[in-house]
Amino acid sequence: MLLFVLDPYFFAAERAQEFPHRAQFLLESLKALHDNIAHLGSRLFVVAGRSVEVVPEVARQVGAKRVLAQSWTEPFGRERDRRVGEALAGHDVAFELFDGETMAPPASLRTGQGEPFRVFTPFSRAFAREIRVAPPLPAPRALPGCDAELDTVPIPTLASLGIAHNPRLVVGGERAARQRLREFLDGPADAYHHDRDRMDRPGTSRLSADLKFGTLSARSVWSAVQSKATGTEWQRSYLNELVWREFSHALLWDRPSLLTEPFRPAWQKFPFLSPTDPVGQRRWQAWCDGRTGFPVVDASARQLLQEGFVHNRARMISASVLTKDLLIDYRRGEAHYLHWLVDGDWAQNNAGWQWATGCGCDAQPYFRIFNPTSQGERFDPDGDYVRRWVPELAALPARWIHAPHNAPSDVLSKAGVRIGTDYPAPIVDHAEARNLFLRVAKTALG
């Protein structure tokens, strides 16, 4: 029989509004799983409660001799797995964990000194040298049934959680995931290496939520890409991103404290603006709402709220602006992203934010500061990404769309944009903010 536990640790009904997009994706995926296995001779049993209590209880009720589960690698999932195993052992039930969240177990690779890697490039070399990614297992042809009367719950509806359905999210479930993979491989894949940074093009695979929830395993994606091509540039480039994902999971596995503390100790006392600082509050609100006056940043903020997804390049630019231009603690941005992202994953999200801030493992140096205008001009050259998410700027020509406050007044009036009324002036002057950050960082980081 197939059991899914709605554990309040990651799915508390009364707190589901804190992760509305992931709740939607998860429930859709559960429903799809339920429907997809109907012909296998059993069904999906959903129970609610703490895994450490309900799993042994279900095992007792059905007389199970063994329980199989995929391990979770982030700290609390890991602890949960440990406790469930302990509880089951007390009932003489075998507990077999298998890996699947990552392509190789997160502690697989070590440096010559036996230490966890701190730098991506050597990690990726070791991965290429030592890891043979196993092809995914075939789907089961049948599932053993279950006669016991179990205390199951129906798959919750979004409405019962007080969440409105968002039609703009990627659709959950394995079938939808496989279709996304197919569309990527048949479409933008072979231009991936040069289109992946283009915020205005559908150049990426959009599989992040599938990888997070397991509607597609990283191994499935790896194998599909491997069998599609050999030695091409797009393939190398894409597989490299999967190795980055692997690296991020490994980092958190070895250093659970990363969820609360920066990797680089020098950053622990970095003088970000206090959450109670009125200037900081204004900046924070503007960044969240998408009205900083930096079009790409505002586009990404609105895409996040509406689609639960942000293009990776836009994530990096927005993180750079929040931490460096606005001097706001990366952990607040990290939490905001985790709230809204459909692909919100503790390991990936944390690694991304620490990297962009410059406080992480193998992060970019603190003085590498993105210019939101020139980034926009480079990676959204026609301005279509901005036009899509910041419609009040849609009539501006590409020449000015990334710096509307600098546009000549006749251009602005022709486009129907009044700076300060229809669209804000930049909340900070980037050049000044950059200099200030460099000074602050130099002092704080030595």
Whose Cβ is closer to DNA: residue 34's or residue 249's? Answer: 249
| Closest distance to DNA from the beta carbon of 241 (Å) | 6
Could you write out the DSSP letters of every residue in 378-423?
A: HHSTT-HHHHHH-GGGTTS-HHHHT-GGGS-HHHHHHHT--BTTTB
Pick between residue 331 and residue 430 the one whose CB is nearest to DNA: 430
Closer residue to DNA (CB): 174 or 325: 325
Please check whether residue 144 is in contact with residue 151, taking contact to mean a CB–CB distance below 8 angstroms: no
Q: Between 312-320 and 346-357, two packed helices, what is the crossing angle to 10 degrees? A: 50
**Residue 42 CA, distance from chain mean position:** 33
Sequence-ordered list of residues with C-beta below 8 angstroms from that of 268, at least 6 positions apart, any chain: 261, 262
**Helices marked H in 146-266:** 174-186, 192-195, 208-213, 218-228, 233-254
Where do contacts with DNA occur on this chain (CB under 7 A)? 120, 197, 241, 244, 312-313, 316, 364, 367-371, 374-375, 378, 430-431, 434, 438, 442
Tokens 């939490």, residue located:
335
Q: Which is nearer to DNA, 164 or 431 (CB)?
A: 431
Pairing of strands 2-6, 66-70: unpaired
Which residue number, 67 or 317, has a Cβ lying nearer to DNA?
A: 317
Q: Report how far residue 184's alpha carbon sits from residue 181's, in angstroms, rounded to the nearest whole number.
A: 5
* Of 113 and 443, CB closest to DNA: 443
Report, in Å, the least distance between residue 281 CB and DNA.
Answer: 27
- Least distance (Å) from DNA to the CB of residue 442? 6
Buried b / exposed e across 389-417, counting CB within 10 Å, b at 16+?
bbebbbebeeebbbbbbebeeebbeebeb
Q: Is 363:354 a contact under the CB 8 Å cutoff?
A: yes
Whole-number minimum distance, CB 221 to DNA, in Å?
16
| Closer by beta carbon to DNA, 173 or else 372 | 372
Least CB distance to DNA at residue 244 (A): 5
Q: Are the C-beta atoms of 180 and 207 separated by less than 8 Å?
A: yes
Closest distance to DNA from the beta carbon of 372 (Å): 8
We find the least distance from the C-beta atom of residue 371 to DNA, in angstroms, to be 4
